[in-house]
Chain A
Amino acid sequence: MGIQRGCIYALVAMGYNIIYNSTGVINFAQGEFVVYGGLMMVTLTMSLGMPVLPSFFLAVIFAMIVGILMERLTINPVKNPTGLQLIIITIAVSIIMKGLAMCFWGKGSHYMKHFSGDEPLKVLGALLLPQTLWIMAILFIIVILQGFFFKYTMTGKSMRACSINRDSAKLAGINDRFMVMLSFALSAGAGAVAGIIITPIIQMDYGRGAILGLKGFGAAVAGGLGSSFGGVLAGLLLGILEAMGGGYISSHYMDAMALIILIMVLFIKPSGLMGGAGAKGTREI
Chain B
Amino acid sequence: MKKSLMGFSASFFLMTAVFTLGFGSSVIAADNDYKIGCVFSVTGNTSWLGEPQKKTVEMIADEINAKGGIKGRKISLFIEDNQGDNTRTVNAVKKLVQKDKVCAIIGPSESGTTMAVIPVIQKMETPVPLLSCAAAEEITKPASERKWIFKMGQNDSDAVRRIYENMNKKGIKKVGILTATNGFGNAGRKKLTEMASEFGLQIVSDETYNPSDTDMTAQLLKIQKAGAEAAVNWSIVPAQSIVPKNMKQLKMSIPLYQSHGFANVKYAEAAGDAAEGLVFPAGRVMAVSTLPDGHPQKAVLNEYKTAYEAKYKDHVSTFGGHAYDGLWLVVKAIEAVGDDPAKIRDYIETAQFTGTGGQFKFSAADHNGLDKNAFEMLTVKNGQFVVLGE
Chain A interface residues toward B at CB < 8 A? 1, 5, 102, 107-109, 111, 113, 118, 120, 127, 129, 201-203, 205, 207, 211, 243, 246-247, 251-252, 254-255
Q: Assess whether B184 is interfacial by the CB under 8 Å rule.
A: no
Chain B 206-236 interface 0/1 with A at a Cβ cutoff of 8 Å (1 = within): 0111101111111101000000000000000
- 8 Å CB contact of A203 from B47, B219, B248, B270: B270
Chain B 192-209 interface 0/1 with A at a Cβ cutoff of 8 Å (1 = within): 000000000000000111
Contacts of B207 in A (CB 8 A): 251
Q: Are A107 and B43 in contact (CB under 8 A)?
A: yes
- 8 Å CB contact of A1 from B43, B217, B238, B269: B217
Contacts of B274 in A (CB 8 A): 118
For A109, the closest partner residue in chain B by CB is B238
Contacts of A211 in B (CB 8 A): 212
For B274, the closest partner residue in chain A by CB is A118
Q: Are A251 and B210 in contact (CB under 8 A)?
A: yes
Q: Are A203 and B214 in contact (CB under 8 A)?
A: yes
Q: Assess whether B253 is interfacial by the CB under 8 Å rule.
A: no
Q: Assess whether B48 is interfacial by the CB under 8 Å rule.
A: yes
Closest Cβ–Cβ distance, residue A251 to chain B (whole Å): 5
Q: Are B250 and A127 in contact (CB under 8 A)?
A: yes
Q: A127 to B266: give the CA distance in the assembly, Å.
A: 27
Closest Cβ–Cβ distance, residue A239 to chain B (whole Å): 11
Q: Are A251 and B214 in contact (CB under 8 A)?
A: no
Chain B 37-66 interface 0/1 with A at a Cβ cutoff of 8 Å (1 = within): 000000111011001000000000000000
Q: A127 to B218: give the CA distance in the assembly, Å.
A: 13
Q: A113 to B245: give the CA distance in the assembly, Å.
A: 12
Contacts known (A108-B48, A127-B251); A203 close to B241, Cβ less than 8 A? yes
Q: A102 to B217: give the CA distance in the assembly, Å.
A: 29
Q: Are B242 and A203 in contact (CB under 8 A)?
A: yes
Q: Are A252 and B208 in contact (CB under 8 A)?
A: yes
Q: Are A251 and B51 in contact (CB under 8 A)?
A: no
Q: A138 to B200: give the CA distance in the assembly, Å.
A: 50
Interchain residue pairs A-B with the least CB separation, the first 10: A202-B214, A109-B238, A111-B270, A247-B218, A107-B47, A246-B218, A120-B249, A251-B218, A1-B217, A107-B43
Q: A130 to B207: give the CA distance in the assembly, Å.
A: 27
Q: Are A252 and B221 in contact (CB under 8 A)?
A: no
For A112, the closest partner residue in chain B by CB is B270
For B51, the closest partner residue in chain A by CB is A107
For A107, the closest partner residue in chain B by CB is B47
Q: A205 to B270: give the CA distance in the assembly, Å.
A: 13
Most buried by A among B48, B208, B217, B221: B217
Most buried by A among B209, B219, B238, B241: B238
Chain B 243-255 interface 0/1 with A at a Cβ cutoff of 8 Å (1 = within): 0010011110000
Contacts of A111 in B (CB 8 A): 241, 269-270, 272
Closest Cβ–Cβ distance, residue A210 to chain B (whole Å): 11
Q: Are A118 and B210 in contact (CB under 8 A)?
A: no
